[in-house]
Chain A
Amino acid sequence: MNPEFQELADDIYRRRVLRARAMTVGERLAEVLELQDQANAMMRGSVKMQFPDASESEVDRLTLERKHRLRLVSDQGLFQNAAA
């Protein structure tokens, strides 16, 4: 990485660590859940944008399919289907 960018990246990380340290366990837990909801809503929103004519139930199905594919990637080498 460009040394200038490395300095910036280090500074951003330092701020994130200090912010996390200033929070209570409960506050961090609440923030994780809030971020989860935001990420899930964004994924569903991106499916709607890609398939503007899809019904709400179709968007639900497509979003679940997308999540399933992401899980397969994340599971690779660590989880195995019991039926395999």
Chain B
Amino acid sequence: MNSGEAILQVIAAADAASIAYMLTGSLASGVWGIPRASKDADLVLEMSNRRPDEITRHLGPEFRLNDQMSFETITGSMRWILQVPKINFDIELFLLSTDAHHQERFKRRREHLHPTLLRNVFLPTAEDVIIQKVRWGRQKDRSDALDVMSVQAGHLDWLYIESWCDRHNTRALLEELRAAVPPI
């Protein structure tokens, strides 16, 4: 098994449980920006149950759910870590939060065909990746946001991005990054 196959199995488990999902994090920013290595994959799940058991009961013994739940301090999103020890790979399972942007980002997600996995996967839009990365604002998030802006130059809905960054009080950082986009 590799990381792509592990993600596919989790997506298949979500499908089996009729749970809508979206791939986010560095995987999504790599898709809209410059692909880079990451230590894990992030999956947002729309589920009413507050534990991911509905997913994990469809997975084999090679998957191990870490019982320790954590939450993101900006929006309160709850997160579990699903480990795949044999391939040294983690999948972070986020429950879709009630945060207004998270709800909107999930609504706007789109299906894209993965050429080697031969199936469609749901991803957020490039605009929503930028908004989320600017909101988190860690060094690697800034770098990812800049990469998406650089690669997608001329194809971004800036009014949409600006309106959310205004609501999140992150407009200054957005403009700082935007000014750093090289003229390519």
Whole-angstrom CA separation of A39 from B27 in the bound complex: 14
* Partner among A21, A29, A64, A71 whose Cβ is within 8 Å of the Cβ of B31: A29
Starting from the known contacts A31-B35, A40-B87, A82-B71, 16 additional A-B residue pairs (CB-CB under 8 Å) come to A14-B182, A17-B147, A17-B150, A26-B113, A27-B115, A29-B112, A29-B114, A32-B30, A35-B35, A36-B3, A36-B37, A36-B41, A40-B39, A41-B88, A43-B88, A83-B68
A79 near B79 with CB under 8 A, answer: yes
A36 near B89 with CB under 8 A, answer: yes
List the A side residues contacting B114 at CB < 8 Å: 26, 29-30
List the A side residues contacting B117 at CB < 8 Å: 30
Whole-angstrom CA separation of A28 from B4 in the bound complex: 13
Question: Taking the complex as formed, is B49 at the interface, i.e. its CB lies under 8 A from any CB of chain A?
Answer: no
B86 near A77 with CB under 8 A, answer: no
Report the interface size class on chain B: 35 or more
Nearest-CB residue, chain B, relative to A38: B37
List the B side residues contacting A71 at CB < 8 Å: 39-40, 81, 90
A33 near B4 with CB under 8 A, answer: yes
Question: Taking the complex as formed, is B72 at the interface, i.e. its CB lies under 8 A from any CB of chain A?
Answer: yes
| Chain A 52-84 per-residue mask, 1 if CB under 8 angstroms from chain B, else 0 | 000000001001100100110011011111110
Tell me which residues from 20 to 60 in chain B have a Cβ below 8 Å from any Cβ of chain A: 26-27, 30-41
List the B side residues contacting A41 at CB < 8 Å: 88
Report the interface size class on chain A: 35 or more
B34 near A60 with CB under 8 A, answer: no
Question: Taking the complex as formed, is B173 at the interface, i.e. its CB lies under 8 A from any CB of chain A?
Answer: no
Residues of chain A having any CB pair with chain B under 8 Å: 10, 13-14, 16-18, 20-21, 24-33, 35-41, 43-44, 60, 63-64, 67, 70-71, 74-75, 77-83
Whole-angstrom CA separation of A33 from B25 in the bound complex: 13
A39 near B38 with CB under 8 A, answer: yes
* Partner among B7, B27, B38, B86 whose Cβ is within 8 Å of the Cβ of A60: B86
A25 near B31 with CB under 8 A, answer: yes
Whole-angstrom CA separation of A40 from B151 in the bound complex: 26
Nearest-CB residue, chain A, relative to B66: A68
B88 near A44 with CB under 8 A, answer: yes
List the A side residues contacting B61 at CB < 8 Å: none
B85 near A20 with CB under 8 A, answer: no
Whole-angstrom CA separation of A36 from B26 in the bound complex: 10
